[in-house]
Amino acid sequence: MLNKLPTHIICHYSEIGLKGKNRIFFEKKLKENIKYALNPDSIVNIQRLRGRFLIELTEFGQQSISDIKEILINIFGLAYFALAYESEPDLDIIKSDSLELMKRLEFDTFRVTARRIDSKFPYTSQQLNEEVGAEIFEKLDKKVNLKYPEAICFVDVLDEGTFLFTEKIPSAKGLPIGVSGKAIVMLSGGIDSPVAAYYAMKRGMRVIYVHFHSVPLVSEASVEKVRDTVAILKKYQPKSKLYLMKFAAIQQQIMVDCNEKLRVVLYRRYMMKIAEKVAELENAKAIYTGEALGQVASQTIENITVVEESVNLPIMRPLIGFDKLEIISKAQEIGTYEISILPHEDCCTLYVPKHPATKARLIDVQKNEAGLDSDALIEESLKTSEIEIV
C-alpha cells in the first residue's frame, strides 16, 4: 500500500552532469551541502545515482517534508527535485500505487511519464506509460493529454528501487557552493550587493562578507541591517562569516587631507585594499561587488578602472550589465529587498561631496593617497574589525 507521505526525494542536477573528470568532485560537494543543510534526524541516507541523488527519509523527515522542500529549493547545484513515494518493481503494484497517488490530486487531464533504468524489469518505458495510463484512464475516468496535462504521473524504475511522484520542483541550479573556492563579498546596506552575493554563490563560491561601517558617526542600525541581510542569505549558505570593518577614521582622514571630488573614489580604493587583506587571511581568490556600470558616480568606467588598480585580486561584478529594475526584481525574489530599502545611514552617505568626480585620473588619485599613511589606516581597520558567524 502506498505511503501517505513521501518516503524519498529524488534530486537532479544539470550543469554538473556536463563536467568531465571533475564530476565526482562536484557531486561530492553537492552531496555534502545537501547533508549539511538538512536536519540529520530527517534522513536515513543520501545515495548518489547516475545523474541524481536519492534521499531516503526517516519518519521524522516524512513529517517535516514542507521544511525539507524549502531547504532544497535554495540548494545551488540542484536543478530540480521530486517528493517521491516508494513502490515495488512489479507492474500490478506500480499500477495500483499510481492509481492511489493520482486519486490524491484534482485534475481532468493527465499523462504518464515512465523511465525504466533497471534493465531487469521486464517492461519498457513505453509499455509502462501505456499500462499505467490505461489504469488511470479506466478507473478514474480522466482524459489523456500528452502535451498539456493538468497532472503527470512520473514512474521511475531504477536499480535502487521503484518510485512514483507527480511534480518536479525547480531548485536554485548553478554550481554547489564551495567548488569554485572562496570569495570576499563587499556587503553594503543597499539593494545591489546582496544580489551580487547571490550570484557569487550560484557560481560555486563560498562567500565571506565584509561590511564597512562608520559607527558611531552613523547609527548602529546600519550594522544590524547588514546582519539581517546575511541572515536572509543564510538559506543559500547556512554558515557565513561576516567581517565588520571600522571605516570612520579613514573617511575623516580623506576628508581633511584629500581633494573633495575624489573622496568617493578614494573610499572605494581603501575598501578594496582592506578587502584584499581580509582575502589573504581567508585564502579567498576574488572580491565581489554590487557595482552596475553607470548607476552612480563611482561606477563610471573611468572610476571603476581607478578603483580596480588598487588591488591585485580580480574584482568580480556580476551586476555590471544589469539595470536597476532588474536588480530590484532579483532582490525581491531572494528576499533581501525589504531590508535593503530601510532608511538607515551608512558609511557611503558620510562626507559625500556635492559633485564627485565621474572621470577620476589615476595620477591625481595616487597623489592624494601619497599624503595619507595608508599602511597605518588599513592596519588600524583590520585590528579593530569584528568577526561574526551568522
Q: Has residue 305 been placed in a domain?
A: yes
Q: Has residue 3 been placed in a domain?
A: no
For the segment 290-301, what is each residue's pLDDT rounded down to a tens digit?
999 988 878 999
CA 33, CA 13: separation in Å to the nearest integer? 13
Percent of the chain with pLDDT strictly greater than 90? 89
**pLDDT grade, residue 176 (50/70/90)?**
very high
**pLDDT grade, residue 135 (50/70/90)?**
very high
Q: Has residue 318 been placed in a domain?
A: yes
**pLDDT grade, residue 154 (50/70/90)?**
very high
pLDDT at 347 (0 to 100): 67
- For 105-119, what is the mean pLDDT? 98
pLDDT at 275 (0 to 100): 99
Handedness of CA 17, 195, 316, 184 (dihedral sign): negative
Residues 165 and 90 grouped into a single domain: yes
C-alpha cell at 136: 488511470
- Reply yes or no on whether the pLDDT at 81 is more than 80: yes
Residues 227 and 341 grouped into a single domain: yes
Q: Among residues 69, 73, 27, which one has the least CA distance to residue 52?
A: 27
For the segment 200-251, what is each residue's pLDDT rounded down to a tens digit?
999 999 999 999 999 988 888 889 999 999 999 999 999 999 999 999 999 9
Q: Has residue 369 been placed in a domain?
A: yes
Q: What is the CATH number of the domain that holds 314?
A: 3.40.50.620
Residues 81 and 156 grouped into a single domain: yes
**pLDDT grade, residue 16 (50/70/90)?**
confident
Higher-scoring residue by pLDDT: 18, 92: 92
Handedness of CA 177, 239, 32, 73 (dihedral sign): negative
Residues 160 and 191 grouped into a single domain: no
**pLDDT grade, residue 151 (50/70/90)?**
very high
Q: Among residues 159, 107, 106, 157, which one has the least CA distance to residue 129?
A: 157
Angle at 82 between CA 79 and CA 83, to 5 degrees: 150
Amino acid letter, residue 53:
F
C-alpha cell at 108: 481532468
Residues 136 and 271 grouped into a single domain: no
pLDDT at 346 (0 to 100): 67
DSSP string, 321-354: T--HHHHHHHHHHHT-HHHHTS----GGGTT--S
Q: Which of 118, 139, 170 is the last residue of a domain?
A: 170
CA 246, CA 254: separation in Å to the nearest integer? 14
For the segment 25-39, what is each residue's pLDDT rounded down to a tens digit?
999 999 999 999 999
pLDDT at 297 (0 to 100): 77
For the segment 337-356, what is each residue's pLDDT rounded down to a tens digit?
999 999 877 666 667 788 89
Q: Which of 170, 195, 226 is the last residue of a domain?
A: 170
Residues 94 and 214 grouped into a single domain: no
Residues 146 and 200 grouped into a single domain: no
Q: Has residue 197 been placed in a domain?
A: yes
How many domains does the chain divide into? 2
Question: Three-state SS for 116?
Answer: strand
With left for phi above 0 and alpha for psi between -120 and 50, is residue 186 left, alpha or beta?
A: beta
For the segment 355-381, what is each residue's pLDDT rounded down to a tens digit?
899 999 999 999 999 999 999 999 999
Residues 216 and 364 grouped into a single domain: yes
Helices (H), the chain: 23-37, 59-63, 65-72, 91-103, 125-140, 192-202, 221-233, 248-257, 263-282, 301-308, 324-334, 337-340, 362-370, 374-383
Residues 26 and 117 grouped into a single domain: yes
Q: Which of 170, 203, 223 is the last residue of a domain?
A: 170
Residue 143, exposed/middle/buried by CB under 10 A (0-12, 13-18, 19+)? exposed
**pLDDT grade, residue 19 (50/70/90)?**
confident
- For 161-186, what is the mean pLDDT? 98
Q: Has residue 177 been placed in a domain?
A: no
Mean pLDDT, all residues of the chain: 96
pTM for the full predicted model:
0.94
Beta pairing class for 315-316 and 386-389 = unpaired
- Reply yes or no on whether the pLDDT at 1 is more than 90: no
Q: What is the CATH number of the domain that holds 101?
A: 3.30.2130.30
Q: Has residue 223 been placed in a domain?
A: yes
Are 228 and 199 a contacting pair, CB within 8 Å?
Answer: no
**pLDDT grade, residue 15 (50/70/90)?**
confident
Identify the domain containing residue 261 by its residue range: 182-389
pLDDT at 298 (0 to 100): 80
Angle at 364 between CA 385 and CA 366, to 5 degrees: 40
Percent of the chain with pLDDT strictly greater than 70? 98
pLDDT at 114 (0 to 100): 99
